[in-house]
Structure 1
Amino acid sequence: MRGKSKVWLAATLAFLLLMMVSEMGWAQRSRARPGKSRTQLEREKRLALKRIKETSRILQQTQQRKEATIGQLNALKEKITVQKNVIQTISSELKYLDSDVRQTETQVQQTQQTLAQLRAEYARLIYTSSKTANSYNRIMFLFAAESFNQFVRRLQYVRQYSEVRKAQAAQITQTQTRLSQQLTGLTAKRQQKSSLLSTQLSENRNLLSIKTQQDQVVTQLSRQEQQLQEELTRRQQSVRRLDDLIAQRVREEIARAARAAANKAARSSAASGSTSRSPTATRRTEAAEEAAVERTDRVTLTPEAAILSSSFADHRGRLLWPVGRGFISQRFGKHPHPVLKHVVIENRGVDIQTNAGEAVRAVFDGKVLTVASVPGMNTIVMVQHGEYFTVYAKLRNVSVSEGQTVEARQQLGTVYTDAEGTSEVQFQLWRNSANLNPENWLGRK
C-alpha cells in the first residue's frame, strides 16, 4: 500500500508541474507577441472612427452643391484611407482573438485532462480506503506492527492518507472551478470574435460604398476638364503671387535684422571707445553695415530671437496643427493632378481641409510679420519664430495685426470657404529662404 501511495503522490506532482509549465509557456508566448498590443489597436481604431466622422462632416459640406468638386474627391480619398486603416486594425484584433481562442482551447483541454486524471486517482484512493474503512480494520492494521516505531509510522500513514484524500478532493474542486472559468472566458472570446467579424464585414461594405462614390465623382470631374484646367491656371497664378510675397517679406526681414544688428554693434563700439574714432575703425563700421544690408541668406538673431528659434526647432514633429479638425487634402511637393492626366502640381506647403468657420491658430509662439491679401489665396498671415516663418493662407478674416506677439493656440482668424463649399487652409513653413515640408514638423492629431 505504501508503494501505491508513493506512486500516486509522484503522479500528482507530475501533473501539477506539467500544468504550471504549460500555463507559464502560454503566458510567455502571449507576452512575446510582436507588434502592437490589443489596447493600442483598440485606441487606433477609436481614433480612426473619429477621423471618419470628422471627414464625413466635411464631405457633407462639400456635397451641398450638385456638381462634383475636387474638395469632394479629396474628402472621399481621405475617408477611404482611414476606412482601410480601420479594416486593417480590425484584422489585427482578429488575429489576437484567434490566438487567444486557440490558447484558451488548449488550456481547457489540458484542464479537462488533469481533472480526469485527478478523478481517476481519487477513485482509486476511495477504493483503497474502503478496504480499511471500519475502525476494526484500522486498529488491526496499527496493532499488527512489529515494533513501536512501526506503529508510529503506520499511525502517521493513516493520518497522511486521510489528509491526501482531503487535499485531492479540494484539488478536484479547484480544477473544476478553473475549468468553468476557462469555458466562460472561451465563450466570451468566441462571441467577441463573431461580433468583430460582423464589424469587419460592415466596414468592408462601407469601403466599397465610398469607393463607388469616388468613382462617380472622378467620372463627373473628368467631364469638366476645361473647367479644371482653368482652375489650375488660376491656382498657379495665386501660388506665384504668394511665393513672391513670402520671398519679399523674408528678404526684408533678413535685411532689417542685419541693419539692426549692425547699428547695435556700431553704437556699442562708439560707447566703449573714444569720442573720435580712427579712420580704420570708421571704415570697419561702415563695412559691417554694408555687409549687413547686403545679407540675404539668414536672419540675424538677437539673443531672445535665438532662444525662440531654438525652441521652435526643438518642437520638430510636435507642432500644433493650425486647425483643430481636418485632414491633409494636398501634400507638400510635386504630385499628379487628381483628375487631369499628365499634369503635375507643386505645393509649397500642405492644404488642410476642415469645417466651415473653423478657427485657424498659431502653431507656436511668435510675432505677426505680415497680414496681406493675395488674389486666389484670400487673406494670409505670416508669423515669425526667430529664423523660422509659418504662413497661413486662405483665411476668411483675421483677428491679429502686424507686429503683434502671439502665443501657441492663439486664434489668427477663420478658414475661408470657397464657392464650391470647400473649407481649406494652406499652411507653409520656412527657415529663412528655405521651404520646409510641414508634415515633418506637425505633431500627430
Structure 2
Amino acid sequence: MINRLLCLCLACFVWSLAALAQENKLIKELQNKRGDLQKQIAEQETLLKRTGKDVGSMLDGLASLNGQIEERKRYIQVINGDLERIDREQASLNRQLTRLRAELKDKKKKYEASVQYLYKNRSIEEKLMFIFSAKTLEQTYRRMRYVREYATWQRMQGEEIKRKQQELTNKQEELRRVRAAKESLMAEGEAEKKKLEEQEKQKKDIVAGLRRKQKSLQQELARKRREANQLNARIDKLIAEEIEKARKRAEEEARREAEARRKAAAANKKGDDGTSSSASGKLSKAAPMERFNMNRADRTLSGSFAENKGRLPVPITGPYLITSHYGQYSVEGLRNVKLDNKGIDLQGKPGAQARAVFNGRVAAVFKLNGLFNILVRHGAYITVYCNLSTATVKQDDEVKTGQTLGEVFSDGADGGRTILHFQLRREKGKLNPEPWLAR
C-alpha cells in the first residue's frame, strides 16, 4: 500500500512539472511568433520610401503605405489574440494555485494531527505495550506492521508537503512571468497603435495632396489602365495558346491509348476464333474518342498544386508588402478612383528575385515595354510573374518550387521602388492569389 501511495505521489509531482513546462512553452511560443512578426514589420518599414510630389509617386507611396498599415493592423490583431491566450493561461494558473494551496493546507493539517498523535504516544514503552497487549500472534504482527507503516506514512507526508510547497512556489513564479509577459505585450500593443495612428495621418496627407491634383490623378490612372490592359491582353493570348497546346497533347495521348486498346482487343479476338479483326476495328472507330483538356501528367500536377493551396511560397524573395490586392476596389478617401487588379502587386527590396511558387514548366517568356514577363504552367494552373528586369529561364524549362526566375525591376526614377506583379489562373479563369500563399 505504501509503495502504491509513493508511486501516486511521484506521478502527481511529475505531472505538475510537465504542466509547468507546457505553460513555459506557451509563453515562449507566443514570444517567438511575435518576434518573427516584429522582424517582418521592421523589414517592411524599410520598403517605405519618401513620397515625391508628382502624382505617380504619390500613388505608389499611398499603395506602399496602405500595405504597411494592413500589416500593422494584422500584427495588432495577433497581439490581441495573444493577450486573450495569456489571460486564459493566467486564469488557469490562478485556479491551479488555489487548488495547490488547499491541498497544501490539508496535508499540513493531517501532518500536524499525526505529529500530535505521535507526541502523545512517544515513548517506547507505550508502543511496546500497544504491540504486546495483542490477544493473538496474528494481531501482534498486524500491530507491529501498523506502527512501522504509520511512521513511514508520516515521513512521506512530510516529504509530500515539501514537494507541494515547491510546486506552489514554482506555480507562483510562473504566474509572475505570465503577468510580466502580459504587461510587456500590452505596452507593445500600445506602441504599435501609436505607430498606426501616425501612418494613418500620413495617409490622410497623401490623399489630401492627390485630391488637389484630381486631373493629373485621372490621367495617371488612365495611363496605368492602358499598360495593364496591354499586359493582360498579351497574357490572355498566350494562355489561350497554351490551353490549345495542352488540349492537343491530351487528344494525342487519348488517341494513342485508344489505338493501343483497339490493337489489344483485335489480338484477343483473333486468338479466340482465328478470324480477322476488321469488325473489331470498325467497332473501335465507331466508338467516340474521349476528349481531354489535359493529359495524365498535367492532371496529376494540377491535383498537387490544388492540394497546396495556402502553402505556396510568396513569389518574391526578401521582405515584401502587398501594395495592391486582387479585384476591383476603390481607394479610400479618393472619389471616382477605382482600381482593377487581375493579380496582386508585391513590393520588395532592390535586388529581389521572382521565384516559382510550385513545380511546373515555363510556358512563355516575353518582353513588354522593355521588361520580362514569365508564365509557368502547373497543369491546369498558370502563374504569371511580371515586371522583371532579367529572366533566368526560357520557354519549356522545367522549374522547381522556390526556383528563381529573374530579378524584379527596380525603378531608379522612383527611389528604387521594386514591384512584382503576380497573377494566378486556372486555365482562362482568374483567381485571387492571396489565399493560395503561405503568409
Letter in 2 for 1:70: L
Post-superposition CA distance 1:81-103 (Å, at most 9, x none):
22222222222222232233333
1:346 matched residue in structure 2: 340
| Contact map agreement 1:52 1:83 (CA 8 A) in 2 | yes
Q: 2:167 aligns with which of 166, 173, 178?
A: 178
Q: 2:88 aligns with which of 85, 99, 103?
A: 99
- Corresponding residue pairs, total: 390
Cα gap change, 1:183/1:351 in structure 2, threshold over 3 Å: closer, same or farther?
closer
Q: Percent identity?
A: 28
DSSP-derived class of the 2:47 partner: helix
Q: Does 1:391 align with 2:378?
A: no
DSSP-derived class of the 1:390 partner: strand
Cα gap change, 1:152/1:222 in structure 2, threshold over 3 Å: closer, same or farther?
same
Deviation at 1:133, TM superposition (A): 2.0
Q: Does 1:439 align with 2:434?
A: yes
Letter in 2 for 1:111: L
Deviation at 1:64, TM superposition (A): 6.3
| Distance in 2 (alpha carbons) for counterparts of 1:58 and 1:118 | 62
| Contact map agreement 2:131 2:143 (CA 8 A) in 1 | yes
DSSP-derived class of the 1:69 partner: helix
| Contact map agreement 1:366 1:405 (CA 8 A) in 2 | yes
DSSP-derived class of the 1:351 partner: strand
TM-score, normalised via structure 1 length:
0.72
| Distance in 2 (alpha carbons) for counterparts of 1:145 and 1:370 | 103
Deviation at 1:261, TM superposition (A): 8.8
DSSP-derived class of the 1:208 partner: helix
Deviation at 1:56, TM superposition (A): 0.8
| Distance in 2 (alpha carbons) for counterparts of 1:56 and 1:121 | 63
1:63 matched residue in structure 2: 50
Deviation at 1:315, TM superposition (A): 4.8
**Higher Cα radius of gyration:** 1
Q: Does 1:337 align with 2:327?
A: no
| Distance in 2 (alpha carbons) for counterparts of 1:42 and 1:354 | 26
| Contact map agreement 1:320 1:443 (CA 8 A) in 2 | yes
DSSP-derived class of the 1:352 partner: strand
**1:354-373 matches, cutoff 5 A:** 354-363=348-357, 364-373=359-368
Post-superposition CA distance 1:120-173 (Å, at most 9, x none):
333333333223322333344445455555544444443344333323322322
Q: 2:204 aligns with which of 192, 200, 215?
A: 215
Deviation at 1:382, TM superposition (A): 3.5
TM-score, normalised via structure 2 length:
0.73
| Distance in 2 (alpha carbons) for counterparts of 1:228 and 1:112 | 69
Post-superposition CA distance 1:306-329 (Å, at most 9, x none):
665665555554444331242322
| Distance in 1 (alpha carbons) for counterparts of 2:29 and 2:361 | 36
| Distance in 2 (alpha carbons) for counterparts of 1:194 and 1:72 | 35
| Distance in 1 (alpha carbons) for counterparts of 2:254 and 2:143 | 106
Cα gap change, 1:183/1:259 in structure 2, threshold over 3 Å: closer, same or farther?
closer
| Contact map agreement 1:328 1:352 (CA 8 A) in 2 | yes
Q: 2:74 aligns with which of 45, 70, 85?
A: 85
Letter in 1 for 2:214: E
Letter in 1 for 2:408: V
- C-alpha RMSD of the superposition: 4.2
Letter in 2 for 1:438: P
Q: Does 1:232 align with 2:227?
A: no
DSSP-derived class of the 1:58 partner: coil
Cα gap change, 1:173/1:374 in structure 2, threshold over 3 Å: closer, same or farther?
same
| Distance in 2 (alpha carbons) for counterparts of 1:199 and 1:260 | 58
Q: 2:97 aligns with which of 100, 108, 111?
A: 108
| Distance in 2 (alpha carbons) for counterparts of 1:408 and 1:217 | 39
Letter in 1 for 2:438: R
Post-superposition CA distance 1:288-320 (Å, at most 9, x none):
xxxxxxxxxx99656666665665555554444
Q: 1:324 aligns with which of 303, 317, 326?
A: 317
- Structure 2 residue runs without a partner (length 5+): 263-290
2:424 matched residue in structure 1: 429
- Structure 1 residue runs without a partner (length 5+): 1-8, 32-36, 273-297
| Distance in 1 (alpha carbons) for counterparts of 2:307 and 2:141 | 81
DSSP-derived class of the 2:410 partner: coil
**1:191-202 matches, cutoff 5 A:** 191-202=180-191
Q: Does 1:414 align with 2:401?
A: no
| Distance in 2 (alpha carbons) for counterparts of 1:149 and 1:58 | 89
Cα gap change, 1:163/1:339 in structure 2, threshold over 3 Å: closer, same or farther?
closer
DSSP-derived class of the 2:196 partner: helix
| Distance in 2 (alpha carbons) for counterparts of 1:51 and 1:87 | 13
Deviation at 1:352, TM superposition (A): 1.6
| Distance in 2 (alpha carbons) for counterparts of 1:403 and 1:328 | 30
Q: 1:131 aligns with which of 120, 127, 132?
A: 120
DSSP-derived class of the 2:406 partner: strand
